[in-house]
Amino acid sequence: MGLLSHNKFKYALIILLGLFIFLWYFLHALTPFIVGCVIAYLLDPLIKRLEKLGVKRLFSVILICLLFLSTLVCAVLFIFPIIFQQLLELFKSAPSYIFAFQEYFFNNFPTLQEKTPILSESLNGFSEMIESKGVYLAQALVTSTVGLVNIFTFLLIVPVVTFYLLLDWTILIEKLNGLVPKKYNSDIKIIALEIDKTLASFVRGQLFICLILSIYYAVALMFLGVKFALLVGIFAGIFSLIPYVGFVFGGGIAIVLAMVQFWDNPIWIGAVGFVFLIGQVVEGNILSPVLIGKNIGLHPVSLLLSLSIFSFLFGFTGLIVGVPIAAIIGVLLRLLIVSYKKTDFYNELDQTD
């Protein structure tokens, strides 16, 4: 690829550095626009499908935006208060749960209490910390998350940005394409198509998987009668954005809650573990291959690294753009490696042999 083989990476680095500085200084003002862009990108395929069915783009955009906003409003009015209430209750009852888990654990494995007294001390210390600061931490978590953006500005700007981007999405793409130098038009088009393919396959697919798993885990745990089922289910589903993380942490928390709640009936504890095992099997063998594909997925370590870096640098906005940026960097690195392997430097043989 001619673009990647030319020695012009310094210009790309200058542009990236300038973009980083710009985001650093104007991040809070740009957050609603970034969120609007992400939502518009995720909803655009639905608009195109309606257009193929003969619906005009304007009506398609209005319909999809109304459906999205109504879903979001329902979530804010009905689901989020329940989640927050369960979060507070979990922190309030955490000391009793830790004590019950500790009693259950050491009653079944009495030798460990003698050999590892530090474990008992650690659990007691953790219980005291949760009891004294747990509710405060839960409230601070919510208020700090909301405080990252001006909520009123956010709610006003995001829908408007999303609507107009969806309405003019095709025109904007054509105008951006027209700004690319003709010399590099084919190369840029290949890169853009590869990035869009990865984002469409991974980001959209993985978000849909998270939604499916959140509903599945929450409903299944509610059916089994596990306390805080909605909170744990949504937590496990969201963290399924990173492969295996939702299964390990969400399943671990659910099993601990089940051990305390059903300590005298191991069958129900096993049922909770079976729920998460089924979820992991379905995700790995059905959902991921169908919605993402076998060769598109990003390595879990790269996702964790991207989310850690961008959330540290840009907070809430960093969490939103962390996964897409990881996907874009992955595509660019793959293309760069392909280009590198075509160079004379890589293919040149050692003349001394």
- Which pLDDT belongs to residue 124? 55
The tokens describing 310, both together, are 């961008």
List Cα–Cα distances, 187 to 5, 339, 343, in angstroms. Answer: 11, 12, 17
**Residue recorded with tokens 């209750």:** 89
Mean pLDDT score of the chain, rounded to an integer?
Answer: 76
Looking at residue 15, its amino acid is I
Q: Would 275 be classed as within a structural domain? A: no
Q: Would 338 be classed as within a structural domain? A: no
Q: Would 285 be classed as within a structural domain? A: no
Total structural domains within the chain = 1
112-118 LR contacts (CB < 8 Å, sep 24+):
none
More confident residue, 222 or 134: 222
Alpha-carbon distance of 179 to 169, in angstroms, equals 16
Q: Would 142 be classed as within a structural domain? A: yes
- For 300-312, the pLDDT digits (tens) are 777 777 777 877 7
Residue 20: CB atoms within 10 Å: 12
More confident residue, 116 or 12: 12
95 touches 135 (CB < 8 A): no
DSSP letter at 184?
Answer: G
- Which pLDDT belongs to residue 188? 77
Q: Would 129 be classed as within a structural domain? A: yes
Confidence check: pLDDT of 101 > 80: no
More confident residue, 209 or 17: 209
- For 134-181, the pLDDT digits (tens) are 555 555 555 554 454 456 666 778 888 889 999 888 888 888 877 777
202 touches 292 (CB < 8 A): yes
277 touches 285 (CB < 8 A): no
From 6-15, 59-68, 74-83, 97-106, the region with the lowest mean pLDDT? 6-15
Confidence check: pLDDT of 228 > 50: yes
31-51 average pLDDT score = 86
From 2-6, 62-66, 263-267, the region with the lowest mean pLDDT? 2-6
138-143 LR contacts (CB < 8 Å, sep 24+):
138/84, 138/87, 138/88, 138/91, 139/88, 141/87, 142/84, 142/87
DSSP letter at 201?
Answer: I
Q: Would 9 be classed as within a structural domain? A: no
From 19-28, 136-145, 164-173, 261-270, the region with the lowest mean pLDDT? 136-145
Confidence check: pLDDT of 278 > 90: yes
The tokens describing 83, both together, are 């989640």
Q: Would 39 be classed as within a structural domain? A: yes
- Which pLDDT belongs to residue 207? 83
Q: What per-residue string of b and e applies to 221-249 under the rule 16 or more CB within 10 Å gives b?
A: beebebbbbbbbbbbbbbbbbbbebbbeb
The tokens describing 47, both together, are 């608009």
More confident residue, 251 or 97: 251
Please give the model's pTM, rounded to 2 decimal places: 0.68
Confidence check: pLDDT of 254 > 60: yes
- Which pLDDT belongs to residue 5? 47
218 touches 229 (CB < 8 A): yes
- Which pLDDT belongs to residue 103? 67
Classify residue 273 as exposed, middle or buried by CB count within 10 Å of its CB (0-12, 13-18, 19+): middle
- Which pLDDT belongs to residue 114? 52
DSSP per position, 267-318: HHHHHHHHHHHHHHHHIIIIIHHHHT-TTTPPPHHHHHHHHHHHHHHHTHHH
Task: Find the domain containing 37 and state its range.
Answer: 30-179
168 touches 336 (CB < 8 A): no
200-215 average pLDDT score = 84
Give the residue ranges of DSSP H helices in 109-204.
Answer: 110-115, 117-147, 151-167, 169-178, 185-198
Alpha-carbon distance of 310 to 320, in angstroms, equals 9
Q: Would 43 be classed as within a structural domain? A: yes
